[in-house]
Amino acid sequence: MSNKTKLPVGQEAIEEFGWMYAHRFLLLRRATQFFFLAIFLLGPWFGIWWFKGNLSGSMTFNFLPLNDPFITVQSFAALHWPETTALIGAVIVGVIYALIGGRVYCSWVCPINPVTDGAHWIHEKLGMQKGWQPKHNTRYWILAMVVAVSAATGTIAWEFVNPISMLHRGLIFGMGFAWAFVVAVFLFDIFVSRRGWCGHLCPVGTFYGLLGTKSVVRISAVKRSECDDCMDCFAVCPEMHVISPALRGKDEDTALILSPDCTNCGRCIDVCAMDVFKFTHRFDDTPAPGRVQRTRTQPATGASKAA
């Protein structure tokens, strides 16, 4: 383990490139997350009705329908065949995320992401244990459960509790006590389970993850041979298990991060002082030699700083 492991996450990158550059994807993401909230507030706040609705369903310039495909799937399960407008909207959204990475929704759009990121920041500041960590496939069980409950109750089940729409719709149309769901997720992530909500439970993220299994846009650890084991990418990644196969791969293994769990958040790019990661596409076959085995043997698990 290199001595740099003990430095704060991203320290070297900040020293190397400056704070802004070492947070460029984080800042961009906060900007897009704000954007997808702000455009819907233009109407109620300023009377500019270019974008109507919310993340569940919207109408842009009275022309472009966009609909949440996961809600559409639940509607099918509840035996309602939506009208063409909603179907077109769902297909458009579905195709976009299938191409750019399903969980791009999580890190670039979802309004709960700043909440759980904030919770994680506090969680780290408090030096909490990682707490309850459900099995990796728990999220798929939950996804199946939601669809089953939709079918059993004949309703779009997740929308009764979904903290994402509670927050997004709440901010745009009025919240009531819906903030309680958001606070619950926030506290859950601080005290009960590290990265618990987005990383293990949220069926919306799981659905989008499945949608993006074959997505074109991917992160690659293309300069993995230069990795100096600072472990910052593992520490900053919300789904750190996705990094090892690419970063620690041998010459013949792909350097692409192909797990659908990767949210394409770009934080690994931000924090890496050695510039190992970059955004690319899944057909990128730039040769990416694995690391030369150092004389000093590396510990097998890369997550010591994060754990």
Partner 1 sequence: MSAHIRNTSSMDRRRFLQDSARGLTGCAVAGMGLAYFISDARALPAQALRPPGALSEPDFLAACIRCGLCVRDCPYDTLVLAELGEDGAATGTPYFTARDIPCEMCEDIPCVAACPTGALDKDLTNIDDADMGVAVLIDEETCLNALGLRCDVCYRVCPVIDEAITLERSHNERSGHHAIFMPTVHADKCTGCGKCEKSCVLPNEAAIKVLPRRIARADAADHYKLGWEDRNPLVDDLIDLPDRLPGPGTDNLVAPGGYLPATEGIPEASMDGGFNPGLKLPGTGGSN
**Binding residues for partner 1 (CB under 8 A):** 43, 49, 52-54, 56-59, 65, 67-68, 71-72, 75, 78-83, 85-86, 89, 135, 137-138, 141-142, 144-146, 148-149, 152-157, 159-161, 165-166, 169-170, 172-178, 180-181
CA distance 186 to 59: 30
Indicate whether 90 belongs to the interface with ligand SF4 (CB under 6 A): no
Question: To the nearest whole angstrom, how small is the minimum distance from the Cβ of residue 13 to ligand SF4?
Answer: 13
Stretch that binds ligand SF4, among 159-167, 171-179, 239-247, 283-291 (CB under 6 A): 239-247
- Are 261 and 239 in contact by the 8 Å Cβ rule? The answer is yes
**For the CA atoms of 39, 41, 42, 46, what is the dihedral angle to 10 degrees?**
-170
First to last CA, the chain: 14
Q: Which is nearer to ligand SF4, 224 or 267 (CB)?
A: 267
Residue 58: how many CB atoms within 10 A of its CB?
A: 19
Indicate whether 229 belongs to the interface with ligand SF4 (CB under 6 A): no
* Cα torsion angle, 72, 75, 77, 81, sign: negative
Indicate whether 239 belongs to the interface with ligand SF4 (CB under 6 A): yes
- Are 197 and 116 in contact by the 8 Å Cβ rule? The answer is yes
Q: Which is nearer to ligand SF4, 144 or 307 (CB)?
A: 307
Indicate whether 120 belongs to the interface with ligand SF4 (CB under 6 A): no
The rounded Cα 192 to chain-centroid distance in angstroms is 20
Residue 116: how many CB atoms within 10 A of its CB?
A: 25
Q: Which is nearer to partner 1, 71 or 240 (CB)?
A: 71
> What are the structure tokens assigned to 306, written together?
């994060």
Binding site partner of 221, from ligand SF4, partner 1, none, Cβ cut-off 5-8 A by kind? none
Binding site partner of 75, from ligand SF4, partner 1, none, Cβ cut-off 5-8 A by kind? partner 1
Query: Could you list the residues that contact ligand SF4 (CB under 6 A)?
Result: 57, 219, 236-239, 242-243, 257, 262-268
